[in-house]
Structure 1
Amino acid sequence: MEVKVGIQHINRELVVDTDETAAQVIDAYKSALEADGLITLTDSKGGTTLVRAATIAYLDLGKEQTRRVGFGDI
């Protein structure tokens, strides 16, 4: 799933391709907001992205999809 993170006062958005579900991302964001801490997103290649939850303007949660097989979309 592709997660786009809009950060306050920054013109570009941060894009993370993660294996987490939308519900997991939402729960992580809510927990980070309550604790005034960082949201941690792990991408599909094992990299980690940390963003201070209070600076997030929006989260755009892309469509959850299964793995693609072959050279085209089926």
Structure 2
Amino acid sequence: MEVKIGVQHAPREIALESSQSAEEIERAVADALGGTTRLLTLVDEHGRRILVPSDRLAYVEIGEQAVRKVGFGAL
């Protein structure tokens, strides 16, 4: 899944590709915003952990897997 995270007082968003399902990501965001955990923790497709303090979250956008185009075909 493609995930974009907006962080308060940061000019750029965090963008990552995750092998987690949309439901898993949504559950992690809900836990972070509900006060269950103090950090939003996600894992990208390379196994790296992304940690964002839950009180600094501005938004989380969950999208579909990005399709990679190969070749030099006409658009």
**Alpha-carbon shift at residue 36 of structure 1 (Å):** 5.0
CA distance in 2, matches of 1:50, 1:38: 6
CA distance in 2, matches of 1:6, 1:55: 9
- Say if 1:5 and 1:13, in contact at 8 Å, map to a contact too: yes
Whose radius of gyration is greater, 1 or 2?
Answer: 2
Residue of structure 2 in register with 1:9 after alignment: 9
- Say if 1:4 and 1:16, in contact at 8 Å, map to a contact too: yes
Residue of structure 2 in register with 1:40 after alignment: 41
- Say if 2:6 and 2:58, in contact at 8 Å, map to a contact too: yes
CA distance in 1, matches of 2:49, 2:17: 11
Aligned length: 70
In structure 2, list runs of 5 or more residues that go unmatched.
none
Identical aligned residues as a percent: 36
